[in-house]
Amino acid sequence: MNLIRRPRRLRKNEPLRKMIRETRMDKSSLIYPIFVKEGANMQEEIPSMEGQYRYSVDRLPYELERLAKVGVTNVMFFGIPNEKDECGSQAYAEDGIIQQALREAKRQFPDMYYSTDVCMCEYTSHGHCGILKGKDVDNDITIELMAKIALSHAQAGADMVAPSDMMDGRVLAIRNKLDSEGFIDIPIMSYGVKYASAFYGPFREAADSTPAFGDRKTYQMDFHNKKEAIKEVLLDVEEGADIIIVKPALDYLDIVTEVSKQINVPIATYSVSGEYAMVKAGAKLGYIDENQIICEMATSAYRAGSDIYITYFAKELAKFMDEGRIG
């Protein structure tokens, strides 16, 4: 048969396949989420997220060391306080759990890069992401506190802040607050596209942040909507967002691609707790190849247009990159 075009020529062996690979990844683009809890000598496994833990500040350096050894140098802290109240005051307290974690992490591992989740759901007694006015979250009062939280994180040593509340105008409020206090070089990685998703279930157990009533659909986005995502990211970029997060990742890769066509700032995708839990559960039952699935999920995010991948599988992916299985 006289075939001029034979695409299989470029699939003949591994060196050639790697040479022409369209999607490339690097460990420097991985961010690992870490849950930090008040207390001492604690490393509690999260029941719905096998292999993930809540760390007390004194145990945190052991996990940072494990990350550093495999080449994962970017982390994002989520805090779990002992005390909660209606206004989430521990979120911006000088001795809050995130603030403590940042100071200790910076002291022991100063070369790692520390992002922080800026939100109130883990700190409020009602579990919502802001200050309530009746049964609804008051947008404008909440963004004032979001700015206060971001500033407290920067003062404690955060390299980047990541507001995840989805309040209108919070990026501008944070940018103005940081700039007015001299933190002009602290980037904002905004959860610009955060859908109201069932994929967050295990996280809410991990962070003890399930709403006491109702849901978050008045501030997180309807998963039916694509144009709304573009509107949100354009607003955030205009307000000063340096990086945009799309969350969740796996079921929203079409959104990642659409967003990548519209903005000229880096895009992060957050492979959330439900994605992690499904892989772990499927592998435990013997239904899937866990390692291969991890690699495929990550590659799909980058292929869709992601520059940064926030994932609970960061350590595994770093190992696979070293082995040449992905990257």
Q: Which residues participate in catalysis according to the annotation?
A: 194, 247
> How far is it, in rounded angstroms, from Cα 272 to Cα 190?
16
Q: Which residues contact 148 (CB under 8 A, 6 or more apart)?
A: 92, 177
Q: Which residues contact 304 (CB under 8 A, 6 or more apart)?
A: 253, 254, 256, 257, 260, 269
Q: What b/e string do you get for 23-38 counting C-beta neighbours within 10 Å, with b at 16 or more?
A: eebebebbbbbbbbbb
Give yes or no for a contact between 60 and 101, defined as CB atoms under 8 angstroms apart: yes
Q: Furthest-apart CA pair in the chain: how many Å?
A: 75
E runs forming strands in the chain: 30-37, 43-45, 53-55, 74-80, 113-118, 132-133, 136-137, 160-163, 189-194, 243-247, 267-271, 308-311
Between β-strands 136-137 and 160-163, what pairing exists: parallel, antiparallel or unpaired?
Answer: unpaired
Q: What b/e string do you get for 271-302 counting C-beta neighbours within 10 Å, with b at 16 or more?
A: bbbbbbbebbeebeeeeeeebebbbebbbbbb
> How far is it, in rounded angstroms, from Cα 128 to Cα 137?
7
